[in-house]
Amino acid sequence: MGTRTGTGTGETTGRQQPRLPLSRERVLRAAVDLADRDGLEAVTMRRLAQDLGVEAMSLYHHVANKGAILDGLIEVVLEEIAEAADRAEAPPAGQDWQAALRARILAARQVLLRHRWAPRLLEERAALNPRLIGYFEGLLGILRAGGFSWDLAHHALHALGSRAIGFAQELFTPDDRDAAYDEATEMIAQMAERLPNLTGMLAEVMHNDPDSTLGWCDDQFEFEFGLDLLLDGLERRRAAGGPVRPRRS
């Protein structure tokens, strides 16, 4: 579609350099650029190689396969989100939990707007990514500091779900729910000292409901909880009357 030189050193369009060597980092940077430009379906081994001025097979010396590239893309985005969320200025978390959460979520959104392909990828293959779990650990910490019970904080994470990270509906929809919950439980247990909030929440939720050691979330309940939050809030604004905002922001 776009113009294409077809030869040369690809992204480094300067004069003939000694051909700087390929690396995992260069491959991932090119993949991010390609996905930002032309979407995720444009990220093929052959096109990526073309952008790098190299043959498709050369990529396999720096990444195991295409799946590793997709996982690398996830890593890049989650790093950007973590960085943006940490930079987001907000009150010291203990003071105003709403402002703290709001700032972090809006910062994450800015990253996702730069990488439109990211939500789908995160939904498809990031459920157990430690960095993503760490992000939710941070949100949970803010809720706890704001006075939330473990129970309510748990439901709050579900309700915020798609807004907190930009993907849809059920927060996680793995192929094998029970296995995925098992893996998540184990991962949190192994990182207990670094994930105090998630560990505490998990203990509470499983204590409240000893039957369901597997699958400790009731998706239908969580869906209705989030839906009712919205419906109640809308009813309140309706009853209050008046315009939603004076001018377009």
Partner DNA sequence: ACCTGAACACCGTTCAAGT
Residues binding its own copies (CB under 8 A): 97-98, 101-102, 105-106, 109, 112, 116, 119-120, 146-149, 151-152, 155-156, 159-160, 162-163, 166-169, 173, 208-209, 211-212, 218, 220-221, 223-238, 243-245, 248-249
The window from 56-64, 141-149, 166-174, 237-245 that contacts DNA (CB under 7 A) reads 56-64
Q: Establish if 246 lies at the interface with DNA (CB under 7 A).
A: no
Helices (H) and strands (E) in the chain, counts: 10, 0
Q: Establish if 24 lies at the interface with DNA (CB under 7 A).
A: no
**Cβ-count burial of 86 within 10 angstroms (0-12 exposed, 13-18 middle, 19+ buried)?**
exposed
Residue 100, token pair as written in the block: 């703290």
Q: Which residue, 66 or 131, has its beta carbon nearer to DNA?
A: 66
Q: Minimum CB separation from DNA for residue 8, in Å?
A: 12
Q: How far apart are CA 132 and CA 173, in angstroms?
A: 15
Q: Minimum CB separation from its own copies for residue 18, in Å?
A: 39
The window from 51-59, 82-90, 129-137, 237-245 that contacts DNA (CB under 7 A) reads 51-59
Output the furthest CA–CA distance in the chain (Å, rounded).
70
Other beta carbons within 10 Å of 117: 21
Report the residue from 24, 29, 66, 109 that binds DNA according to the rule CB under 7 A.
66
- Whether 199 and 151 have beta carbons less than 8 Å apart is answered as no
Q: How far apart are CA 163 and CA 200, in angstroms?
A: 23
Q: Establish if 45 lies at the interface with DNA (CB under 7 A).
A: yes
